[in-house]
């Protein structure tokens, strides 16, 4: 079977009758069996359930029944979205064996449209990381080069799509956890405006920042999934009823660049690719203007203070009484101490302790409230920038995918992996990452597009123009004849 290149092509093959849902599922499961022992993208697999759902869809299609917009398309889901009938662990020993009594809204919405869930994807424990090396189960390797990380925390999702385990995955982004893996694995992703996609059923890291989003092979796949996934959800108190703004033509768009930020780029091919993308947008009639985000230099400490405080507060529920796998002890506090000591990994403990320190009465005003004020300054910088431009571009990351065990002993170096993605998260702005070619070593490079609230459609239109000139779809490991 010649596998379709992307989700849209797979849908066209299904509708034309040249492929069946069963064949797509069997192809994905065959890839998983052949490669996931080494790549480690998945934590749970529902092979028989996926095959049964595929057979049902094939029968409905054959009989002429009306089907959903994604009928027959296999996909994966990051394992911090709860799923009825499948384990949900957030890659932590604390939730080992947990099975939720309900499914996340996005999981239900996608399956209602006929998408077929193959299994749950690996992540950094409780989404705390930038490499998917901090999973309690196992690290995930990048299908482009198995000696390198796929990014994080949605690295299992990104690796799954790049390796051909279905046609898309849904992950989450708190400070770059979709965009960085997309850049490292040669994929497309969208971190939406707050409220565009439902978060109901997402195990939270930092409620004021967490956003779900899809990872796809092509921009047109991303456009379709944005339409399918968006919409108000009364179960999510942050969910918005506002419609997305219509896509604008590239001709006449003012595209901003942040020249001081480019000094942070360590990899010359990324700077060269960034300049090439600007030339492409100029050729489409865009105007390039220089802008500033004056408080971008404080985004990193601001982000980590907010995340640590929210994380420490939220993780208090995992105590062996309310939630979490219990370690038996005779005394209550001994039990809680043992449960948390054995249930959480080192990075989770580090952030909980940091957050607990920040939340001490004598520290809240200086650190937590100070970070919130800094966040407001960053949001104002974005508002001012969008008076001068319609969107702006940066590299998604300062480097291509780094080697496994390269930054494990240096938390600050790992945190700096998200330098370019953090500001948009703090400001609540939508952001797309799309490939902009590969370097001399054949490693993918990504560019980030950031827009004003609810301008996702315009960002995706610009991403499509970049993909047309600089896209690397045919180089993806799932399509170019080999993986890793």
Distances 484 to 4, 123, 300, 429, 442 between C-alpha atoms, Å: 20, 20, 33, 34, 11
| Mean model confidence pLDDT for the chain | 96
DSSP of 294-361: GGGGGHHHHHHHHHHHHHHHHGGGBSSSSBSPPPP-SSHHHHHHHHHHHHS-HHHHHHHHHHHHHTSH
Q: What is the arithmetic mean of pLDDT over 456-481?
A: 95
Task: Kindly tell me if the per-residue pLDDT of 482 is higher than 70.
Answer: no
**Structure confidence by residue, pLDDT tens digits, 116-152:** 999 999 999 999 999 999 999 999 999 999 999 999 9
pTM of the prediction? 0.97
Looking up tokens 């409220």, which residue turns up? 195
At 136, give phi and psi (nearest 5°).
Answer: -70, -15
| CATH 3.40.50.300 correct for 7-247 | no
Q: What is the arithmetic mean of pLDDT over 409-421?
A: 80
Q: Where are the domains of the chain?
A: 7-247, 296-376
Residue 110 Cα to chain centre, angstroms:
17
Task: Kindly tell me if the per-residue pLDDT of 483 is higher than 70.
Answer: no
Take residue 407 and report the two structure tokens written for it: 């930054």
Q: What is the arithmetic mean of pLDDT over 439-446?
A: 98
Task: Kindly tell me if the per-residue pLDDT of 316 is higher than 90.
Answer: yes
Task: Kindly tell me if the per-residue pLDDT of 441 is higher than 70.
Answer: yes
**Structure confidence by residue, pLDDT tens digits, 250-302:** 999 999 999 888 888 989 999 999 999 999 999 999 999 999 999 999 999 99
Distance separating alpha carbons of residues 91 and 377, to the nearest angstrom: 35
Handedness of CA 246, 166, 116, 72 (dihedral sign): positive
At 100, give phi and psi (nearest 5°).
Answer: -75, 150
The residues that are catalytic are: 78, 153, 177
Distance separating alpha carbons of residues 24 and 21, to the nearest angstrom: 5
Where is 116: in which H helix or E strand?
strand 116-121
* % pLDDT > 70, the chain: 98
What does the pLDDT read at residue 95?
97
């Amino acid at each position: 079977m010649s596998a379709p290149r992307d989700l849209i092509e797979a849908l066209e093959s299904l509708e034309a009758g040249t492929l069946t849902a069963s064949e797509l599922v069997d192809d994905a499961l065959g890839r998983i069996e052949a490669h996931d022992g080494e790549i480690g993208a998945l934590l749970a697999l529902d092979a028989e359930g996926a095959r049964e759902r595929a057979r049902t869809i094939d029968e409905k299609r054959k009989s002429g029944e009306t089907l959903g917009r994604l009928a027959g398309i296999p996909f994966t889901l990051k394992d911090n979205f709860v799923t009825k009938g499948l384990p949900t662990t957030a890659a932590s020993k604390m939730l080992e064996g947990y099975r939720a009594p309900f499914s996340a809204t996005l999981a239900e919405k996608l399956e209602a449209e006929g998408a077929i869930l193959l299994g749950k994807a690996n992540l950094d424990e409780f989404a705390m990381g930038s490499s998917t090396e901090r999973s309690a189960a196992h690290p995930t390797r990048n299908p482009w080069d198995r000696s390198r990380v796929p990014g994080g925390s949605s690295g299992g999702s990104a690796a799954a799509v790049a390796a051909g385990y279905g046609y898309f995955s849904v992950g989450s982004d708190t400070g770059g956890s979709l965009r960085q893996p997309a850049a490292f694995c040669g994929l497309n992703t969208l971190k939406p405006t707050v409220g565009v996609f439902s978060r109901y059923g997402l195990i939270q890291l930092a409620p004021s920042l967490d956003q779900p989003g899809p990872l796809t092979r092509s921009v047109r796949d991303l456009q379709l999934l944005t339409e399918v996934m968006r919409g108000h959800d009364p179960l999510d108190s942050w969910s918005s009823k506002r419609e997305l703004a219509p896509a604008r033509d590239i001709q006449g768009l003012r595209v901003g660049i942040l020249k001081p930020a480019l000094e942070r780029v360590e990899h010359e091919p990324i700077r060269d690719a960034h300049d090439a993308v600007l030339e492409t947008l100029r050729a489409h009639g865009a105007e390039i203007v220089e802008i500033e985000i004056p408080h971008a230099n404080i985004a990193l400490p601001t982000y980590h203070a907010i995340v640590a405080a929210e994380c420490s507060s939220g993780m208090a529920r995992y105590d062996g009484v309310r939630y979490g796998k219990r370690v038996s002890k005779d005394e209550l506090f001994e039990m809680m101490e043992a449960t948390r000591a054995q249930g959480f990994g080192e990075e989770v403990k580090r952030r909980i302790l940091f957050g607990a320190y920040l939340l001490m009465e004598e520290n809240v005003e200086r650190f937590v409230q100070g970070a919130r004020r800094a966040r407001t300054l960053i949001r104002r910088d974005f508002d001012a920038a969008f008076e001068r431009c319609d969107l702006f571009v940066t590299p998604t990351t300062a480097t291509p995918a780094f080697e496994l065990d390269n930054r494990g002993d240096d938390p600050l170096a790992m945190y700096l992996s998200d330098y370019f993605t953090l500001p948009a998260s703090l400001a609540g702005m939508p952001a797309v990452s799309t490939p902009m070619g590969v370097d001399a070593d054949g490693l993918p490079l990504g560019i980030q597009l950031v827009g004003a609230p609810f301008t996702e459609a315009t960002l995706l239109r610009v991403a499509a123009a970049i993909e047309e000139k600089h896209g690397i779809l045919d180089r993806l490991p799932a399509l170019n004849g080999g993986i890793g």
